[in-house]
Amino acid sequence: MLSTDPGKECNDEALTSKLIHARPAKRLRVTHVADSTEPPAVRFVQLVRTHFQTRLTPVKSKDSLERFKKALRAYQAATTTTGQDARNNCVEVLFGELNALFHEPEAHKLLTDSVCFLHPAHRSRFTELCQALLRDTFKSETTISATKSNASQPDLHLLCCSKCNIQPARTPLISTCQHIACFSCWREVIEEGNRRCPSCQTLLRRRNLTRLIIPDDAVR
């Protein structure tokens, strides 16, 4: 004859009663879930939106975001046009539009990271324009500081290492994903680490790094 445990039966009945009479779970509408699998372009647009929202009024923020999207749409349209001149100039036009939106020094990273929206064949040219702008910025600030004794030093946070955060980065190298780090930090990432960019986790190799030449007097 089988025996049952009265205590266990009591617990089972209590659990069954609780489940039957429990209130139905609330339905939650998920608006956005941060997912590491999201395309870089999607995450980048969110960063751009946050940048505008934290610095501008709601109206100006919305307008700036729309200008950003409009510039990208114009670029995409130019890459599919039959006119050779339009295709050749589309990178310069896009760079000019984005530079107007991200002209503050602290927004330079958003400008360089915009390369993720470009066709692979256009990315090297966009990178050249960003590097030229960075060099011109340092030269301009250095000239001003030399002519004015009370002028502040050039803004070195543009060369902040994305791994160790030192400003400026020691022997800075820039990656194809447009992030800057010290030579020693890149070597650690490539030779001993996971070979991924400290900022955006893009898989990198040695050939993806380029020495960033900055005038010596700009980083003293």
For residue 16, the model assigns a pLDDT of 59
Of residues 121 and 135, the one with the higher pLDDT is 121
Confirm if 170 and 183 have CB atoms less than 8 A apart. yes
Q: Where are the domains of the chain?
A: 40-118
Least confident of 90-94, 182-186, 213-217: 213-217
For residue 69, the model assigns a pLDDT of 93
Reported as a pLDDT band with limits 50, 70 and 90, residue 138 is low
pLDDT digits 0-9 by tens, 50-64: 999 998 899 999 999
Of residues 34 and 122, the one with the higher pLDDT is 122
CB atoms within 10 A of CB 98: 25
Q: Which range in 19-23, 74-78, 167-171, 216-220 is most confidently predicted, on average pLDDT? A: 74-78
Q: Is the pLDDT of residue 109 over 60?
A: yes
Q: What is the pTM of this model?
A: 0.49
Average pLDDT over all residues of the chain: 76
Q: Is the pLDDT of residue 192 over 90?
A: no
H/E stretch holding 59 = helix 58-79
Amino acid at 202: T
User: Within its chain, how far is the Cα of 114 from the centroid?
Assistant: 8
Give the whole-number percent of the chain exceeding pLDDT 90. Answer: 16
pLDDT digits 0-9 by tens, 12-40: 666 656 555 555 555 545 454 555 566 77
Q: Is 23 helix (H, G, I), strand (E, B) or coil?
A: coil
Q: Is the pLDDT of residue 4 over 70?
A: no
